Structure 1
């Protein structure tokens, strides 16, 4: 769930306004407060843990910060992904990192994951186009409630993980459901099924 605030601001104004607590994004100049629910956060935590284990196993210079912003070029937009993998080797050339935890270069962001909530159109439309333009090599959309439109996840709708990856600056997509093992160009040895990820967001009492 999210709440949009009506005032239009620049990205610099957004950074000056942004409080330390809470999670906020800027969508074409409009401040949006992100308010994820419990099962959404369980999936976030599960994925962050699995991906962290994988890049540590491979001894890659990556981190997953608690909150970081991706500044979209030539737009008054900045996104705070549910899970963002940052390449620490590139942070020395990021002019906004030290003061605002903001990345402006695609080389700093090997992977972004968004877990779909009620504002699914942001993940499948605006963010998809913007991450592609920015040059994020790999972008996951984890639609555990099958909220996305049929044009994106098919008919009948069912829980789906869409993994977009850049080929000659354009996104191609593979989709995974049920017992399908995910295929990640960034982490080709990652051993996860779609159902394992969906299960992470379900109460143990169910």
Structure 2
């Protein structure tokens, strides 16, 4: 849902978006090419899956003693007119000292600070498969998961017949290389090579 800018019909830049962003909001907002966009609220299975992945990945981070963490709120500034707020993001704590906007705004601008981004697919599936995929690849984010638990994505992304699919994109030699997991397959994550989650458990969110 596009939000009418408080600044009128003109496009707004990232700094104006951050200054506008309401505190303690029940909703998340993103800036898409100068337009404030209200994102679907995490509800039901969508929220359950995102929460489950946060818990499982936090446990793996702690188990392995990695210098990573999952913030409650985080916005990735992609350019002067865009910023995205992933469903789940894993940050490298050791690189936050190089992030000039982190302490003040919970904003990340460097791909080196990001270990993994996860988007759980909802009705706006094209944002995850097209818009954000292209942006995250351009930024060089090392790993990106699209958790399409209802099989909503277009045929060009998940094939036909459409079915629940988890796609892991890995940044290699300047491009994303996808690997897809369906049914009861165990996923393979470069960031967490010892992870033993399978798609059935992830799609159930428990």
TM-score normalized by the length of structure 1: 0.93
1:145 aligns to what?
150
Matched, 1:61 2:70: no
Matched, 1:43 2:43: no
Select between 50-59 and 156-165 the one with higher mean Cα deviation. 50-59
1:157 aligns to what?
162
Q: Deviations over 1:130-184 (max 9, x none)?
A: 0011111000000001110000001000000000001111000000011100000
2:17 aligns to what?
14
Alpha-carbon distance in 1 for matches of 2:182, 2:188: 12
Alpha-carbon distance in 2 for matches of 1:29, 1:119: 18
Within-5 A mapping of 1:31-110: 31-34=36-39, 35-73=41-79, 75-110=80-115
Are the equivalent residues in 2 in contact too, given 1:36–1:117 (CA < 8 A)?
A: no
Query: Unmatched 5+ residue regions in structure 1?
Result: 202-206
Select between 75-84 and 119-128 the one with higher mean Cα deviation. 75-84
- Give me the CA root mean square deviation: 1.1
Q: Number of aligned pairs?
A: 198
Pairwise CA distance, 1:127: 0.1
1:4 aligns to what?
2
Matched, 1:171 2:173: no
Q: Deviations over 1:32-81 (max 9, x none)?
A: 112232210100000001111111111011110111001113x4111100
Alpha-carbon distance in 2 for matches of 1:178, 1:104: 36
Query: Unmatched 5+ residue regions in structure 2?
Result: 6-10
**TM superposition outliers: structure 1 runs of 4+ over 3 Å:** none
1:184 aligns to what?
189
Partner SS for 1:5: coil
